[in-house]
Amino acid sequence: MRFGSLTLKSNLFLSPLAGYTNLPFRLVVREVGGVDLCTTDLVNARSLLERNPKAFKLIETSPADFPLAVQLFGSVPGEMRDAAMYLESIGVASIDINMGCPVKKVVKVGGGSAMMTELDKTAALVKGMVKAVKIPGMTTISLLPIWRAHWKMSASLRFLYMAGRASKVLAAR
């Protein structure tokens, strides 16, 4: 399967799950088999740039943990771009932009599902990241009941396509 510039052995991915998709869990899932691309827990782009030890623990990896995608959250275009460039420089295979997390600490800084309320700003952020790195990326969107009433799926997916994301992942809840 082709995913941007990556050739994957499987069409099954390990999605990010906060508190679970750490290195030991990803290695166990890979050992069981069937999954090729695994994604980390969500990581705050600013924390990564500030070299926060907790952020580095979330992206901890090993040679057996490849290909690896890192899920970033944030709303500051420069921080998201710089974090993506850093991750590319250390060998991460893909970037996942979290646009679905409804958790208060993520949404209050404009990240996660809050990004779906400002599509023009979000499109500019995504375009900046796409231009800055060569590795493929994806966006993860969660459709919570509150968003279903206020959100036009086709328009939102169209803006992501136009922004240049390699893939969109929809997690309906």
Residue type, 160: L
DSSP 96-143: EEE-----HHHHTTT-GGGGGG-HHHHHHHHHHHHHH-SS-EEEEEEE
61 in helix, strand or coil?
coil
CA 39, 22, 98, 164: dihedral to nearest 10 degrees?
Answer: -20
Give residue 4's region: left, alpha or beta (phi > 0; psi -120 to 50): left
**From 69, 99, 101, 160, the catalytic residue:** 101
Q: Are strands 6-7 and 2-3 parallel, antiparallel or unpaired?
A: antiparallel
Handedness of CA 113, 98, 125, 148 (dihedral sign): negative
How far apart (Å, rounded) are the C-alpha atoms in residues 82 and 87?
9
Whether 38 sits among the annotated catalytic residues: the reply is no
* Residues classed as catalytic: 101
